[in-house]
Structure 1
Amino acid sequence: MLWIVTTLIAATAQTGRNAAQAGLTARIGTAGATAVRFIFGLPFALAVLVAASWLAPIPIPGATSLGWAAMGGLSQIFATGFLLMAMAGRGFGIATALSKTEPVTLALIGTLALSEPLGWARLGAIVTAVAGVLLVSGTDWSRAGLRSVAHGLAAGALFGLSAIGFRGAILALPDGSQFIRALTILAMGLAIQTCVALAWLAWRDRPALSGIARDWRQSLAAGALGAFASLFWFWGFALTSAANVRTLALIEVPFAQLVSGRIFRQRAAPRQLVGMALITLGVGWLLAVAI
């Protein structure tokens, strides 16, 4: 049951991180705003790891764990790149919706790479929830460009591969509780991503580095929220399959629609109502199978 709590906390914290990053994009660019989550998230992860080391020994990652973590970190960076390319091609809604196909990729790759049991019931629950997301998006698929669709699907697949990499890294650690394992891989993953992000910005986007330094206060807030959200994502990955975690996280989509309707008086279209029902059904189905 703990993975349910950690997933809901992670999804809530991620919403706050997205809000903090949104204001940065206009000032320091998309690449700079994306890098903030890694650069400013790393110090928080390291601080928590040092504090935790006083209570429990920190497992020493081996080559296998490092390899999985590198795969997870790099896949997440490339996934973000494909997502941004899809959005740049006038496919914002398409990119967002297709990136949410991640749980399907997670389930299939998890079965092949980590020998995690899938089963028709669990796969049916995941597909139902993802289908609901595609309906809720409200995207006019008749106007979807082939390139935007391809980039969106690539982003979803790579986000799934990223979660598998991080879960594989956690499982490959020699010892430690689920929380300590998750914290260790979080710090290692953020270190890898920070090195890659800094190298890329120094090579291709030096003005973004200056912008990050100038807006360090807001960047710090985004990094802290990002590290907090990632810790609970990783803790969830340590407790159950990544597909379970990411599928449950889809419940935030109908919640967001309900809040929009209540606060902003935005009415949902009939197909969006059907989509919300499918997401709720899929998540409930998954919980019935997983618990």
Structure 2
Amino acid sequence: MEPWVLLTFGAVTFQTIRFMLQKQLSSAALSASGATFARFLYSAPVVLLALPVLLSVKGVAWPAMPPAFWLYAWIGGLTQILATVFVLLIFRSRNFAVGITLKKTEVLLTAMVSLVVLGEGVSLPALAAIIVGMAGVLILSDLPEGQGAWWRRLDSRAAVLGIGSGVFFAVSGVCYRGATLQIAVDDALVRATVTLAAVGTSQLLAMAVWMHLRERGQIGKVVAAWRSAGLVGLASLGGSLCWFTAFTLQNATYVYAVGQSEVILSLLASYVIFHEKLSWKEGAGIALVTLSVLSLILLV
């Protein structure tokens, strides 16, 4: 199995754990922004400390970071923050498994953004597999409390948040790959870690300013919840490192498409940890997304 596939599986495992912890934080003590800030506060400093050690071990000098790198990094960082906040808001409208799956509109959107921004397209068979996964997402957008066909209900709060998070995740993923491509180093781990350090530090500073101006009380709550919030940061660090390294090795569209395997883990978490139940339509949607992932692993 290709290294980028294994890294993606690792990323979704860490990400599922992080979202589970963030859901508990946002529902118990913190706002959606506070739960998002927690991941940066307890992960960015670790990356900054680890980067010089990694460069020393690899025998690599500090790489140059051209203006294009920072443009990609900052856009990616901002859109990731917005996407994460949207996902945490989804948790307040839908159950855990469906909330995670709704954001998977990012895959098809990433294909379009990647083609426009980086000129990286996908093969027709892979596109067909992605569309199968998208069909599953649309089934999951069929909210049980609504009336009429699903396309008449895409303006519901949960669907808008899901699609919105998909747009932001698509832009962030493509920008992160664009940033790693600006680092003139052969080692994929070094490129990923340098990018992650730049992005994580920028996100931490931006979120700190925002929280100070708009939700000052949340900063103290994040610090007070250091045990659970620290776990969020560690899970975020593991997931981000896997994502960024995978982005250095493969088209962001394929990485995100295989990342749809996250729905399997979220389904297990939904049943086992949160004791939530799924309707047969939601189960069918998740099954289509799973079929899409398996097809892409064989095709790419």
Alignment of 1:44-193 (within 5 A): 44-56=46-58, 57=60, 58-83=62-87, 90=93, 96-135=100-139, 139-140=143-144, 142=146, 144=153, 146=155, 148=157, 149-193=159-203
Q: 3-state SS of the aligned residue for 1:100?
A: helix
Match of 2:252 in 1: 242
Q: Please give the root-mean-square deviation of Cα atoms over the aligned residues, in Å.
A: 2.7
Counterpart contact for 2:32–2:89, Cα < 8 Å:
no
- Any stretches of 5+ residues in structure 2 without a counterpart? 148-152
Q: Give the letter aligned to residue 201 of structure 1.
A: M
CA distance in 2, matches of 1:194, 1:91: 28
TM-score by length of 2: 0.86
Q: Give the letter aligned to residue 45 of structure 1.
A: V
Give the Å deviation of 1:220: 1.8
Q: 3-state SS of the aligned residue for 1:116?
A: coil
CA distance in 2, matches of 1:35, 1:173: 27
The match for 2:234 among 224, 249, 252 is 224
Q: C-alpha deviations, 1:159-182, integer Å up to 9, x for none?
A: 110111111000111224111101
Give the Å deviation of 1:51: 1.6
Q: C-alpha deviations, 1:136-184, integer Å up to 9, x for none?
A: 5773273546252334322211111011111100011122411110111
- Any stretches of 5+ residues in structure 1 without a counterpart? none
Give the Å deviation of 1:86: 5.9
Structure-2 change in CA distance of 1:36 and 1:231 (3 Å): same
Structure-2 change in CA distance of 1:188 and 1:102 (3 Å): same
TM-score by length of 1: 0.88
Give the Å deviation of 1:185: 0.5
CA distance in 1, matches of 2:281, 2:154: 22
Give the Å deviation of 1:3: 0.6
The answer to whether the aligner puts 1:275 opposite 2:275 as a matched pair is no
Structure-2 change in CA distance of 1:165 and 1:263 (3 Å): closer
Q: C-alpha deviations, 1:1-30, integer Å up to 9, x for none?
A: 001110111111112222332332221322
Q: Give the letter aligned to residue 244 of structure 2.
A: F
CA distance in 2, matches of 1:234, 1:124: 25
Give the Å deviation of 1:193: 0.5
CA distance in 2, matches of 1:170, 1:254: 29
Give the Å deviation of 1:241: 1.1
Structure-2 change in CA distance of 1:267 and 1:156 (3 Å): closer
Q: Identity of counterpart residues, as a percentage?
A: 29
CA distance in 1, matches of 2:271, 2:241: 31
Q: 3-state SS of the aligned residue for 1:167?
A: helix
